[in-house]
Amino acid sequence: MVKKIPETLFWKDNVLLLLNQLELPYKVTYKECKNYKDVINAIKVMIVRGAPAIGVAAAYGMLLAGIKSAGLSSSAKLVFMKKAANDLISSRPTAVNLKWAVEKMMKVVEQSLKLNPENYISILYESATDIYNEDILTNMKMSEFGARLLKKDSVVITHCNAGALATAGYGTALGMIRTAYKNGKIKNVFVDETRPYLQGARLTAWELQQEKIPYTLITDNMAGYMMKTEKVDAVIVGADRIAMNGDVANKVGTYSLSILAKYHKIPFYVVAPSSTVDFATLYGIKIKIEERSADEVLKINGRSIAPKDTQVRYPGFDITPASNITMIITEKGVYKPNKISILKKVK
Protein backbone atom coordinates (compact mmCIF):
# COMPACT_ATOMS: atom_id res chain seq x y z
CA MET A 1 0.00 0.00 0.00
CA VAL A 2 2.49 2.63 1.10
CA LYS A 3 5.01 1.08 -1.29
CA LYS A 4 3.17 2.02 -4.47
CA ILE A 5 4.22 5.64 -3.99
CA PRO A 6 8.00 6.20 -4.14
CA GLU A 7 9.43 7.08 -0.75
CA THR A 8 9.25 10.79 0.09
CA LEU A 9 12.67 10.61 1.72
CA PHE A 10 15.19 8.08 2.96
CA TRP A 11 18.63 7.90 4.52
CA LYS A 12 21.42 5.97 2.79
CA ASP A 13 25.20 5.96 3.35
CA ASN A 14 25.19 9.24 5.30
CA VAL A 15 23.11 11.01 2.64
CA LEU A 16 19.47 12.14 2.88
CA LEU A 17 17.61 11.46 -0.36
CA LEU A 18 14.55 13.58 -1.04
CA LEU A 19 12.02 12.74 -3.72
CA ASN A 20 12.19 15.87 -5.88
CA GLN A 21 8.58 17.09 -5.79
CA LEU A 22 9.36 19.88 -8.27
CA GLU A 23 9.71 17.20 -10.95
CA LEU A 24 6.48 15.35 -10.18
CA PRO A 25 4.34 14.00 -11.78
CA TYR A 26 6.61 13.75 -14.80
CA LYS A 27 9.82 12.36 -13.32
CA VAL A 28 10.74 10.41 -10.21
CA THR A 29 14.18 11.69 -9.21
CA TYR A 30 15.90 12.11 -5.85
CA LYS A 31 17.85 15.10 -4.58
CA GLU A 32 20.91 14.17 -2.50
CA CYS A 33 21.50 16.17 0.69
CA LYS A 34 25.00 15.68 2.07
CA ASN A 35 24.92 18.73 4.31
CA TYR A 36 22.23 20.28 6.51
CA LYS A 37 22.37 23.37 4.28
CA ASP A 38 21.23 21.23 1.33
CA VAL A 39 18.20 20.27 3.43
CA ILE A 40 17.45 23.94 4.20
CA ASN A 41 17.57 24.77 0.51
CA ALA A 42 15.38 21.78 -0.42
CA ILE A 43 12.76 22.88 2.13
CA LYS A 44 12.85 26.50 0.90
CA VAL A 45 12.41 25.66 -2.78
CA MET A 46 9.87 22.93 -1.94
CA ILE A 47 11.74 19.89 -3.26
CA VAL A 48 10.30 18.50 -0.03
CA ARG A 49 7.09 20.03 1.30
CA GLY A 50 4.12 19.25 3.53
CA ALA A 51 4.34 19.93 7.27
CA PRO A 52 5.23 16.42 8.54
CA ALA A 53 7.66 15.72 5.65
CA ILE A 54 9.64 18.89 6.25
CA GLY A 55 9.77 18.02 9.97
CA VAL A 56 11.22 14.58 9.20
CA ALA A 57 13.64 16.02 6.60
CA ALA A 58 14.81 18.59 9.16
CA ALA A 59 15.40 15.82 11.74
CA TYR A 60 17.78 14.20 9.24
CA GLY A 61 19.19 17.69 8.58
CA MET A 62 20.16 17.75 12.27
CA LEU A 63 21.82 14.36 11.82
CA LEU A 64 23.80 15.76 8.86
CA ALA A 65 24.80 18.75 10.98
CA GLY A 66 25.85 16.31 13.73
CA ILE A 67 28.09 14.43 11.29
CA LYS A 68 29.63 17.72 10.15
CA SER A 69 30.32 18.73 13.75
CA ALA A 70 31.91 15.39 14.73
CA GLY A 71 35.48 16.73 15.00
CA LEU A 72 34.58 19.70 17.23
CA SER A 73 34.81 19.98 21.00
CA SER A 74 31.58 19.43 22.97
CA SER A 75 30.99 23.14 23.51
CA ALA A 76 31.76 23.99 19.86
CA LYS A 77 29.43 21.16 18.79
CA LEU A 78 26.65 22.69 20.83
CA VAL A 79 27.13 26.13 19.26
CA PHE A 80 27.26 24.58 15.77
CA MET A 81 24.12 22.50 16.36
CA LYS A 82 22.16 25.45 17.80
CA LYS A 83 22.93 27.48 14.69
CA ALA A 84 21.94 24.57 12.42
CA ALA A 85 18.70 24.15 14.41
CA ASN A 86 17.79 27.84 14.08
CA ASP A 87 18.55 27.88 10.37
CA LEU A 88 16.47 24.77 9.78
CA ILE A 89 13.53 26.12 11.80
CA SER A 90 13.49 29.38 9.85
CA SER A 91 13.55 27.70 6.42
CA ARG A 92 9.70 27.74 6.36
CA PRO A 93 7.78 29.65 9.00
CA THR A 94 4.22 28.24 9.12
CA ALA A 95 4.49 24.46 9.57
CA VAL A 96 5.07 23.87 13.27
CA ASN A 97 6.18 20.25 12.73
CA LEU A 98 9.50 21.65 11.52
CA LYS A 99 10.15 23.38 14.84
CA TRP A 100 8.81 20.38 16.76
CA ALA A 101 11.17 17.91 15.05
CA VAL A 102 14.24 20.15 15.24
CA GLU A 103 13.66 20.96 18.92
CA LYS A 104 13.24 17.25 19.63
CA MET A 105 16.58 16.57 17.92
CA MET A 106 18.23 19.48 19.76
CA LYS A 107 17.21 17.97 23.12
CA VAL A 108 18.81 14.69 22.01
CA VAL A 109 21.98 16.60 21.04
CA GLU A 110 22.18 18.23 24.48
CA GLN A 111 21.53 14.99 26.35
CA SER A 112 23.88 12.83 24.33
CA LEU A 113 26.72 15.37 24.57
CA LYS A 114 26.29 15.32 28.33
CA LEU A 115 25.69 11.62 28.95
CA ASN A 116 26.96 9.64 25.99
CA PRO A 117 29.23 11.79 23.77
CA GLU A 118 31.03 8.86 22.12
CA ASN A 119 27.71 7.62 20.64
CA TYR A 120 26.52 11.10 19.61
CA ILE A 121 26.06 10.31 15.89
CA SER A 122 24.39 6.94 16.34
CA ILE A 123 22.00 8.45 18.91
CA LEU A 124 21.09 11.23 16.46
CA TYR A 125 20.58 8.64 13.72
CA GLU A 126 18.24 6.61 15.93
CA SER A 127 16.25 9.69 16.93
CA ALA A 128 15.77 10.89 13.34
CA THR A 129 14.74 7.38 12.32
CA ASP A 130 12.25 7.22 15.22
CA ILE A 131 10.69 10.49 14.04
CA TYR A 132 10.44 9.02 10.51
CA ASN A 133 8.87 5.73 11.65
CA GLU A 134 6.54 7.38 14.13
CA ASP A 135 5.20 9.68 11.44
CA ILE A 136 4.06 6.74 9.30
CA LEU A 137 2.47 4.92 12.26
CA THR A 138 0.77 8.11 13.39
CA ASN A 139 -0.67 8.67 9.93
CA MET A 140 -2.08 5.16 9.78
CA LYS A 141 -3.72 5.56 13.19
CA MET A 142 -5.42 8.87 12.42
CA SER A 143 -6.49 7.58 9.01
CA GLU A 144 -8.24 4.69 10.74
CA PHE A 145 -10.06 7.07 13.12
CA GLY A 146 -10.99 9.40 10.27
CA ALA A 147 -12.25 6.71 7.92
CA ARG A 148 -14.82 5.69 10.56
CA LEU A 149 -16.50 9.09 10.16
CA LEU A 150 -17.38 8.51 6.51
CA LYS A 151 -20.29 6.55 5.17
CA LYS A 152 -20.18 4.04 2.30
CA ASP A 153 -19.54 5.51 -1.18
CA SER A 154 -18.73 9.02 -0.02
CA VAL A 155 -17.72 11.80 -2.37
CA VAL A 156 -15.12 14.06 -0.79
CA ILE A 157 -13.11 17.18 -1.65
CA THR A 158 -9.48 17.64 -0.68
CA HIS A 159 -7.15 20.62 -1.06
CA CYS A 160 -3.39 20.79 -1.62
CA ASN A 161 -1.47 17.55 -0.97
CA ALA A 162 -1.66 16.00 2.47
CA GLY A 163 -0.66 12.57 1.23
CA ALA A 164 2.32 10.22 1.37
CA LEU A 165 4.36 12.92 -0.36
CA ALA A 166 3.65 15.42 2.41
CA THR A 167 4.72 13.00 5.16
CA ALA A 168 7.20 10.17 5.73
CA GLY A 169 4.50 7.97 4.18
CA TYR A 170 0.76 7.23 3.95
CA GLY A 171 -0.43 10.80 4.52
CA THR A 172 -2.88 12.61 6.78
CA ALA A 173 -5.97 13.83 4.87
CA LEU A 174 -5.09 11.59 1.94
CA GLY A 175 -4.22 8.80 4.38
CA MET A 176 -7.78 9.00 5.71
CA ILE A 177 -9.05 8.87 2.12
CA ARG A 178 -6.78 5.83 1.39
CA THR A 179 -8.06 3.90 4.41
CA ALA A 180 -11.65 4.89 3.69
CA TYR A 181 -11.27 3.72 0.08
CA LYS A 182 -9.97 0.35 1.26
CA ASN A 183 -13.06 0.10 3.46
CA GLY A 184 -15.45 0.81 0.56
CA LYS A 185 -16.25 4.31 1.77
CA ILE A 186 -14.94 6.43 -1.11
CA LYS A 187 -16.73 6.71 -4.42
CA ASN A 188 -14.84 9.72 -5.73
CA VAL A 189 -12.38 12.40 -4.64
CA PHE A 190 -12.62 15.93 -6.01
CA VAL A 191 -9.05 17.25 -6.05
CA ASP A 192 -8.61 21.04 -5.90
CA GLU A 193 -5.72 21.88 -8.24
CA THR A 194 -4.43 24.28 -5.54
CA ARG A 195 -3.06 27.34 -7.29
CA PRO A 196 -0.35 28.52 -7.52
CA TYR A 197 2.03 25.62 -6.72
CA LEU A 198 -0.52 23.05 -7.96
CA GLN A 199 0.03 20.47 -5.22
CA GLY A 200 -3.45 19.09 -6.00
CA ALA A 201 -3.02 18.73 -9.77
CA ARG A 202 0.59 17.58 -9.68
CA LEU A 203 0.86 15.57 -6.47
CA THR A 204 -2.54 14.52 -5.09
CA ALA A 205 -3.88 13.51 -8.51
CA TRP A 206 -0.67 11.52 -9.09
CA GLU A 207 -0.87 9.74 -5.73
CA LEU A 208 -4.51 8.83 -6.25
CA GLN A 209 -3.81 7.62 -9.77
CA GLN A 210 -0.93 5.40 -8.55
CA GLU A 211 -3.30 3.73 -6.10
CA LYS A 212 -6.24 3.60 -8.50
CA ILE A 213 -8.50 5.63 -6.23
CA PRO A 214 -11.16 7.38 -8.37
CA TYR A 215 -10.67 11.16 -8.54
CA THR A 216 -11.72 14.19 -10.52
CA LEU A 217 -9.50 17.24 -10.80
CA ILE A 218 -11.21 20.64 -10.40
CA THR A 219 -9.83 24.17 -10.30
CA ASP A 220 -10.12 25.76 -6.87
CA ASN A 221 -12.94 28.06 -7.93
CA MET A 222 -15.16 25.10 -8.91
CA ALA A 223 -15.52 23.66 -5.41
CA GLY A 224 -18.65 25.69 -4.55
CA TYR A 225 -20.41 24.63 -7.73
CA MET A 226 -19.56 20.96 -7.08
CA MET A 227 -21.02 21.28 -3.57
CA LYS A 228 -24.16 22.86 -4.95
CA THR A 229 -24.77 20.54 -7.89
CA GLU A 230 -23.23 17.20 -6.93
CA LYS A 231 -23.42 15.04 -3.85
CA VAL A 232 -20.40 16.03 -1.71
CA ASP A 233 -20.25 14.29 1.68
CA ALA A 234 -17.14 15.78 3.28
CA VAL A 235 -14.18 18.11 2.87
CA ILE A 236 -10.93 16.56 4.16
CA VAL A 237 -7.74 18.63 4.52
CA GLY A 238 -4.42 18.59 6.39
CA ALA A 239 -2.91 21.30 8.60
CA ASP A 240 0.36 23.15 9.03
CA ARG A 241 -0.33 24.48 12.50
CA ILE A 242 -3.29 24.24 14.88
CA ALA A 243 -3.75 26.93 17.52
CA MET A 244 -5.05 26.20 21.02
CA ASN A 245 -8.50 27.55 20.18
CA GLY A 246 -8.79 25.11 17.24
CA ASP A 247 -8.06 27.58 14.42
CA VAL A 248 -6.10 25.86 11.64
CA ALA A 249 -3.40 27.15 9.30
CA ASN A 250 -3.30 25.22 6.03
CA LYS A 251 -2.60 25.83 2.35
CA VAL A 252 -4.16 29.05 1.10
CA GLY A 253 -7.67 28.33 -0.17
CA THR A 254 -8.59 26.12 2.78
CA TYR A 255 -10.41 29.01 4.47
CA SER A 256 -12.61 29.66 1.40
CA LEU A 257 -13.34 25.94 1.15
CA SER A 258 -14.43 25.89 4.81
CA ILE A 259 -16.90 28.73 4.20
CA LEU A 260 -18.32 26.91 1.20
CA ALA A 261 -18.63 23.70 3.23
CA LYS A 262 -20.38 25.52 6.09
CA TYR A 263 -22.83 27.19 3.70
CA HIS A 264 -23.66 23.84 2.09
CA LYS A 265 -23.78 22.02 5.49
CA ILE A 266 -20.98 19.65 4.52
CA PRO A 267 -18.72 18.28 7.31
CA PHE A 268 -15.22 19.79 7.25
CA TYR A 269 -12.50 17.51 8.65
CA VAL A 270 -8.90 18.44 9.46
CA VAL A 271 -6.53 15.47 9.73
CA ALA A 272 -3.17 16.12 11.42
CA PRO A 273 -0.73 14.58 13.88
CA SER A 274 -0.64 15.95 17.43
CA SER A 275 2.79 17.44 16.55
CA THR A 276 0.88 19.97 14.39
CA VAL A 277 -0.85 21.37 17.48
CA ASP A 278 1.04 24.42 18.70
CA PHE A 279 0.57 24.67 22.46
CA ALA A 280 2.37 28.04 22.44
CA THR A 281 -0.11 29.73 20.09
CA LEU A 282 -3.51 30.62 21.48
CA TYR A 283 -5.28 31.92 18.35
CA GLY A 284 -4.94 31.42 14.62
CA ILE A 285 -4.34 35.13 14.10
CA LYS A 286 -1.00 34.73 15.91
CA ILE A 287 0.30 32.18 13.37
CA LYS A 288 2.98 33.49 11.03
CA ILE A 289 1.87 33.08 7.43
CA GLU A 290 4.59 32.47 4.87
CA GLU A 291 4.72 34.89 1.93
CA ARG A 292 6.33 33.26 -1.11
CA SER A 293 7.84 34.60 -4.30
CA ALA A 294 5.50 36.47 -6.68
CA ASP A 295 6.95 34.40 -9.51
CA GLU A 296 5.00 31.33 -8.34
CA VAL A 297 1.78 33.29 -9.01
CA LEU A 298 2.95 35.11 -12.13
CA LYS A 299 4.20 32.02 -13.95
CA ILE A 300 2.92 28.57 -14.79
CA ASN A 301 5.62 26.11 -15.88
CA GLY A 302 8.03 29.02 -16.21
CA ARG A 303 5.72 30.96 -18.53
CA SER A 304 4.28 34.36 -17.52
CA ILE A 305 0.50 34.57 -17.35
CA ALA A 306 0.11 38.25 -16.40
CA PRO A 307 1.32 41.58 -17.77
CA LYS A 308 4.92 42.51 -16.89
CA ASP A 309 5.29 44.35 -13.53
CA THR A 310 1.95 43.08 -12.19
CA GLN A 311 1.81 43.45 -8.42
CA VAL A 312 1.17 40.19 -6.54
CA ARG A 313 0.11 39.05 -3.07
CA TYR A 314 0.97 35.49 -2.20
CA PRO A 315 0.28 34.25 1.31
CA GLY A 316 1.11 30.52 1.14
CA PHE A 317 -1.39 29.63 3.88
CA ASP A 318 -4.58 30.93 5.46
CA ILE A 319 -6.39 30.43 8.74
CA THR A 320 -9.61 28.46 8.98
CA PRO A 321 -11.53 29.44 12.12
CA ALA A 322 -12.41 26.66 14.56
CA SER A 323 -16.10 27.50 14.03
CA ASN A 324 -15.88 26.24 10.41
CA ILE A 325 -14.31 22.89 11.36
CA THR A 326 -16.44 19.87 12.24
CA MET A 327 -13.70 17.67 13.76
CA ILE A 328 -9.92 17.55 14.06
CA ILE A 329 -8.65 14.00 13.61
CA THR A 330 -5.32 13.12 15.26
CA GLU A 331 -3.54 9.86 16.13
CA LYS A 332 -4.72 10.37 19.73
CA GLY A 333 -8.39 10.63 18.83
CA VAL A 334 -11.02 12.81 17.20
CA TYR A 335 -11.72 16.19 18.78
CA LYS A 336 -14.10 19.10 18.40
CA PRO A 337 -11.78 21.98 17.43
CA ASN A 338 -12.54 23.94 20.59
CA LYS A 339 -11.41 20.93 22.65
CA ILE A 340 -8.04 20.42 20.92
CA SER A 341 -6.07 21.94 23.82
CA ILE A 342 -6.92 18.74 25.76
CA LEU A 343 -4.12 17.11 23.75
CA LYS A 344 -1.64 18.79 26.05
CA LYS A 345 -2.69 16.29 28.72
CA VAL A 346 -3.17 13.21 26.50
CA LYS A 347 -0.12 10.88 26.40
Distance, in Å, from the CA atom of 204 to the CA atom of 208, rounded to the nearest integer, reads 6
Q: Which of residues 106-165 bind ligand MRU (CB under 6 A)?
A: 160, 162
- Edge-to-edge, what's the strand order for the sheet holding 248-251? 241-242, 248-251, 317-320
Q: Does 287 bind ligand MRU (CB under 6 A)?
A: no
Site size toward ligand MRU, by CB under 6 A: 17
Q: Identify the bridge partners of residue 291 per DSSP, sorted by sequence position.
A: 315
CB of 266 to ligand MRU, least distance (A): 18
If binding is defined by CB under 6 A, does position 251 make contact with ligand MRU?
Answer: yes
Strand partners, 334: 329
Query: Smaller CB distance to ligand MRU: residue 193 or 240?
Result: 240
* Least distance between ligand MRU and beta carbon 47 (Å): 11
- Burial per residue of 73-85, b for 16 or more beta-carbon CB atoms within 10 angstroms, e otherwise: eeeebbebbeebb
Closest alpha carbon to 208 in 63, 53, 25: 25
CA 51 to chain centre: 3
Q: Does 178 contact ligand MRU by CB under 6 A?
A: no
The string of DSSP letters for 267-318 reads -EEEE--GGGB-TT--SGGGSPPPB--THHHHEETTEE-S-TT-----BSEE
Beta strands 15-19 and 30-33 are: antiparallel
Short-list 16, 122, 111, 91, CA closest to 61: 16
Other residues' Cβ atoms within 10 Å of the Cβ of residue 27: 8
* 248 vs 260, beta carbon nearer ligand MRU: 248
Closest CA to 279 of 319, 242, 328: 242
Q: Tell whether omega for the bond before 337 is within 30 degrees of 0, i.e. cis.
A: no
**Which residue number is nearest to ligand MRU in terms of Cβ?**
238
Catalytic residue among 192, 240, 247, 318: 240
Minimum CB distance to ligand MRU smaller for 53 or for 150: 53
Q: Does 51 bind ligand MRU (CB under 6 A)?
A: yes
Q: Is 199 in the site for ligand MRU (CB under 6 A)?
A: yes
CA distance 213 to 207: 9
Tell me how long the chain is.
347
Please identify, using beta-carbon distances, which residue of 127 and 172 lies nearer to ligand MRU.
172
The residue among 42 and 124 lying less far from ligand MRU, judged by its C-beta, is 42
Regarding 167 and contact with ligand MRU (CB under 6 A), the answer is yes
The residue within the footprint of ligand MRU, chosen from 192, 240, 247, 278 (CB under 6 A), is 240
Pick the closer one to ligand MRU by CB: 207 or 240: 240
Q: Which of 95, 177, 243, 329 binds ligand MRU (CB under 6 A)?
A: 95
- If one asks whether residue 284 binds ligand MRU (CB under 6 A), the answer comes out as no
Contact flag: residue 179 with ligand MRU (CB under 6 A): no
For the CB of residue 249, give the shortest distance to ligand MRU in the complex, in Å.
8
By CB under 6 A, residue 238 contacts ligand MRU: yes
Residue 31 touching ligand MRU (CB under 6 A): no
Number of C-beta neighbours around residue 318 at 10 A: 19
**Minimum CB separation from ligand MRU for residue 187, in Å?**
23
Q: Is 38 a catalytic residue?
A: no
Chain positions contacting ligand MRU, by CB under 6 A: 49-52, 95, 160, 162, 166-167, 172, 199, 238-240, 250-251, 316
- What residues are annotated to the active site? 240
